[in-house]
Chain A
Amino acid sequence: MSTSTPSNPPTQATSVAPAHSDHDDELVKVHWLDRVPGRGNPAAWPLGLAGALVLIAGTFLSWSYTSDVLGDLSVNFWPGGVQICMIVLGLVALVLLLAHRGPLAGLGAWLDTATSVRALGLGAVAYMLGALGTIAVKSGGIININPGGWISLVGALMLAASGLMLVSRQTKDPLFAKTSSWLEICTIIVLMALVLFGAAYALDVGDGASFVLFLLFVASVAWGLSKAGVFTWIGLISQKNRQVLMLGAFAVAFLFPFTQGGSDENMSIATQVLIFAATALGLNIVVGLAGLLDLGYIAFLGAGAYVGATLSASAFATIDWKPPFLIVVLLGACFSALLGLIIGSPTLRVSGDYLAIVTLAFGEIFRLTMGNLDGNNGPVLTNGPNGIPAIPDLNFFGFDFGQPHVIAGITLGRFANYYFLLLVIAAIIILVFTRLNNSRIGRGWVAIREDEKAAEAMGVNVFGLKLFAFAGGAFLAGMAGTVKAHHDVSVTPDQYIFLESAFLLAAVVLGGMGTVAGVLVGATILKLLPEKLRFVADYRLLIFGLVLVLMMRFRPEGLVASQRRKLEFHEDDEELAQRIEEVHLEEAEAKA
């Protein structure tokens, strides 16, 4: 096993490995990458540059003979959405390559450019194969692929080959990058704008194949940038400029309906995402912060919704008292919290597994009870399986949520109205979440998660704090539920099945327990994908299960995770522990 190229560990540019003496060769484990022919070859860099340029050039030519596949890709020098994605990817790769060697070399010291180019290249290849495959299948043959598509594919292959051959020259950890605050704030603003633009584009994409390609594009770029270490830096600056980030995120969320030109179809999806996200954020307090496994959380949302429905002006409402909506919100939230207290107080004294079983049962009991309170087996409260239909739209001080309103020339329909209200509720939940997380209560929860007995010996009121998390989470879900009742128009028991609880939990786990951004991402993915991937609707749960299994294997801490969380899942990773320690020291010194 004697290779002519120096065999460096792929990510450590600092160790310029000396040639191994023959006798210890067998003991040294060589990374598979180091066996790639031509690794470290000086030609890799120009090859990559050429690849990125060829990839971009190809997008300006026609990809498809027919104009009815993946939007219109048949016009020369007029790239469609699917092609623009590759232009963006090519440009990102170009910047990284120029940072690897060339005018942006200063940047290259901080970023793991080689690994990143590899990820981008492989992503581009997958994307091109997907796009060309779709064209071939849908328009009836490979013959319908025009030269532009082949050129871009060749470019992608060149890029991937270059990525496999490049050797990282990163010498500094982006975690310790010092950047000026205006650059940081600009980055956050640009990032937010991209999110807004991307969300609007994704919702507008009509056919499933284009949407899958868009996802592939986003995943490739995200993978590439995260490999480069850009996300480490972004995580750092977003923590440093948390106010700006929060403000920016809300500005984006607020502006979103204005990008939809009054389309009720897209706004309906967006409000559903928001309801789901707000509920998942509430669950995140219970699961992510206090570490309590709640498998029946949807019941608390349902309790709020039923309170909202029975006290509404619907002709089918069973209670004659019609208080103003703000009071209904409070009542719904308190009713949910009360249920939480009733379920929690006997079960929170025992350990986690029991709580999971009891909450699972509670979710079912709630659903069945709501299905039976129809006058046959008890009081008429919920009309049984028929539920309470025809719940009228909300009306705040003359502002009718059912009517479209025109603001600055843009029509905002019924769903946009609810979207804004739900945004306020999500903001309240996020505020509660972050305040709690950084409080004395939050520290108590950390102690409970780590070691309940030791926490008790430290004077942490373990039972009290657990009950508080449980009832508090229920309160927030109940609040969201009252709005959901009006948004959905009708409330029936079968909206609150166990699968919904499972999806909520999946959103929290997939996104990243204990983080706001992660859960928002997780909730968006879980709610948006089924809407957009209707052509694989039958396989939805199968795909979802596969994704979860893969996530737990490769990234158990979730898509977005704090460094501390990562350590909880990768206890043996000494390098990570070391990094966290250094960050802690820096923080402590900054405070002193």
Chain B
Amino acid sequence: MSTMLEVKDLVVAYGKIKAVKGISFTVDEGQVVSLIGTNGAGKTTTLRTISGLLRPASGSIRFQGKRIDETPAHDIVSLGLAHSPEGRRIFPRLSVEQNLLLGAFARRDGDIKKDLQAAYDLFPILGERRAQAAGTFSGGEQQMLAMGRAMMSRPKLLMLDEPSMGLSPLMMKTVMSTVTTLQEQGTTILLVEQNAQAALKRASKGYVLEVGKIVLSGTGAELLESDEVRKAYLGED
């Protein structure tokens, strides 16, 4: 199993304030890796830096052995790294289909039609409402669209930023089981979550982030068992 993503001593700062203070972690091919932590821990900042939307102050990011911390965001997508941003960020006034097609913007091959069908197979509701303006969707449906859109770039590594945010427990189950489906289909996934239970249950590996530092790491099962996680994130004493 080769290393897909390697983050080393990453520091990201907004002006003088360091949001990420030197973290290192790896994502291996075929894994689901979870990054958990409370608000302000630096999870979203980390993802945005990996996908090129922010620039690191120091440290390195390697994707399939190649350094990408200087690569512009639009080229990173072409390399096979897709980012489904926090808050979904779908295009509300465009139709579902237009949203999905924009997901494939970085591609120049002719197979886009096929992948459109694949997205509709994965989320049948998207196919049923492909002409509807995406802004009229419920939160869960928007999340499905955001994931489908990210998959349209045929990513090797899919980064999901809090897919369960604001969803009903039932909808969250659907979204999380899709994560498993995508993994089975061969996509590597980096999952950022506040919902530790849901995120760690599926994770091959997990990291706990606290105010910009990794304080704990291990397999998903190990972390779920550990006292710190149980106390801090699962509300048990």
Contact = CB atoms under 8 A, between A and B. Distances in A.
Interface of A: 440, 443-444, 446-447, 450-451, 453-462, 464, 564, 567-568, 571, 577, 580-582, 584-585, 588
B102 A461 contact: no
Contacts of A564: 93
B131 A459 contact: no
Given A450-B92, A450-B94, A567-B93, A456 B53 contact: yes
A458 B131 contact: no
- Where chain A touches its partner, the secondary structure class is helix
A284 B102 CA distance: 23
Nearest to A589: B131
B198 interface: no
A451 B98 CA distance: 14
A587 to B, nearest CB: 8
B149 interface: yes
Contact of A588 (B85, B90, B94, B97): B97
B153 interface: yes
Contacts of B41: none
B66 interface: no
B85 A581 contact: no
B53 A580 contact: no
A568 B91 CA distance: 12
Given A459-B105, A460-B102, A461-B74, 18 more contacts: A443-B101, A446-B91, A450-B91, A450-B93, A451-B89, A451-B91, A456-B53, A457-B83, A458-B102, A458-B103, A459-B73, A459-B76, A459-B77, A567-B133, A568-B93, A580-B133, A584-B97, A588-B131
A447 B90 CA distance: 10
A585 B96 CA distance: 11
Interface string B97-109: 1100111011000
Contacts of B97: 584, 588
Given A577-B136, A585-B131, A459 B93 contact: no
B150 to A, nearest CB: 8
Q: Which 5 pairs, one residue from A and one from B, show the smallest C-beta to C-beta distance?
A: A459-B77, A459-B106, A584-B131, A454-B89, A461-B74
A453 B87 CA distance: 12
- Most A Cβ at <10 Å: residue of B85, B89, B131, B135: B131
Contacts of B85: 453-454, 457
Contacts of B77: 457-459
Nearest to B153: A459
A17 to B, nearest CB: 28
B74 A454 contact: no
Interface in B50-88: 51, 53, 72-74, 76-78, 83-85
A531 to B, nearest CB: 39
Given A457-B51, A458-B153, A460-B74, A571 B105 contact: no
A235 to B, nearest CB: 19
B130 interface: yes
Contacts, number: 82
Contacts of A461: 72, 74
Nearest to B103: A458
A443 B98 CA distance: 9
A50 B186 CA distance: 76
A455 B105 CA distance: 9
- Most B Cβ at <10 Å: residue of A440, A457, A567, A584: A457
Contacts of B136: 577
A455 B97 CA distance: 15
B95 A581 contact: yes
Contacts of B78: 459
B73 A444 contact: no
Given A453-B53, A459-B74, A440 B91 contact: no
A568 B93 CA distance: 7
Interface string B101-129: 11101100000000000000000000000
A454 B95 CA distance: 15
Interface string B123-165: 0000000111101100000000000010001000000000000
A404 B136 CA distance: 61
B148 to A, nearest CB: 12
9 contacts: A450-B93, A451-B91, A453-B53, A457-B73, A457-B84, A457-B89, A458-B149, A458-B153, A459-B153
Given A461-B72, A577-B133, A454 B106 contact: no
A61 to B, nearest CB: 54
- Most B Cβ at <10 Å: residue of A459, A460, A461, A588: A459
A295 to B, nearest CB: 25
Nearest to A450: B91
B156 to A, nearest CB: 14
B53 A457 contact: yes
B101 to A, nearest CB: 7
A440 to B, nearest CB: 7
B38 to A, nearest CB: 23
Contacts of B94: 446, 450
A461 B77 CA distance: 10
Contacts of A577: 133, 136
